[in-house]
Each structure stands twice: as structure tokens, then as C-alpha cells.
Amino acid sequence: MSLTRSDMVDVSVALDLAGTRFHASAVGGATVVVGTMATVIIAHVVDDPAASGVWNDQEFRLHGPTPALAASGLTEPAPFTTTGPARGHPVHLLVRIDELCTYLGLVRHSHGKWADGELHS
């Protein structure tokens, strides 16, 4: 399925982006889904600097205790900015609003690390 920025989709459609087999993990208030086709991040609408989420039109921050599988889908190769070419396993970013998700697009990593079971990106 091809989505464009700002499309409103059901959570099941968001999960379909990951592929037929996937693993979901909670990471800092967001859900990270690592699948056979892609990694999907579904963030919840929050206004808390300590929680993962959209900071502005160029930046998404994801941090907190992170299972190794979720970290592998985010750090090799890496997501989280909308600038530059996408590489490797695609990473899709969505924000959940009530029962629907707003598609924000493909993202890539700009900086951060995974250490001692915690993601800092």
C-alpha cells in the first residue's frame, strides 16, 4: 500500500506496512513494530518532553527502555529525519489520534544510540 503524508489510516493499515510477520514493542510511549518489510513507529499524541514524540516538523525523538529487536529495526540503518535519501529497511512514522493514525512519512536516523537496553535518539 502506498501512503502519502497526512493520510489518515486505521491501525491495521499501519501494521500492514511492517509486513506479514512482525514484532511490536512499547518504547517511551510509542509503539515500534519491526517486520519483514519495514519498521513502523506509531507515536501517541502527548505533550510531555520525557515521552517519545514529534518535536517539530523536522524532528521525532524516541527514547526509553528498548528491546534489542526494536532497537535493531531503528539503528541499523537508522531512521528519524525526513532529509536525505532513505537507506536499507524503510521506517514509517505515524501519530495515533483516537482510533486512527496520521501518516507522517518515511524517516531516517539523524543521531542517537542504543546502550544498556535504552534508546537515545
Q: Residue 118: what residue type? A: E
What pLDDT is stored for residue 89 in this prediction? 78
Instruction: Between 81 and 61, name the one with better pLDDT.
Output: 61
User: What are the boundaries of each domain within the chain?
Assistant: 8-115
pLDDT at 116 over 50: yes
pLDDT tens string 31-80? 999 999 999 999 888 767 777 777 777 888 787 788 877 777 676 544 44
User: If you average pLDDT over residues 84-93, what whole number do you get?
Assistant: 68
pLDDT at 101 over 80: yes
Q: Fill in the DSSP letter of residue 81.
A: B
Sheet containing 63-65, strands listed edge to edge, beginning at the edge strand earlier in sequence: 63-65, 118-120, 113-115
* Rounded-to-integer distance, Cα 54 and Cα 36, Å: 25
pLDDT at 114 over 60: yes
pLDDT at 86 over 50: no
pLDDT band at 98 (very low <50, low <70, confident <90, very high): confident
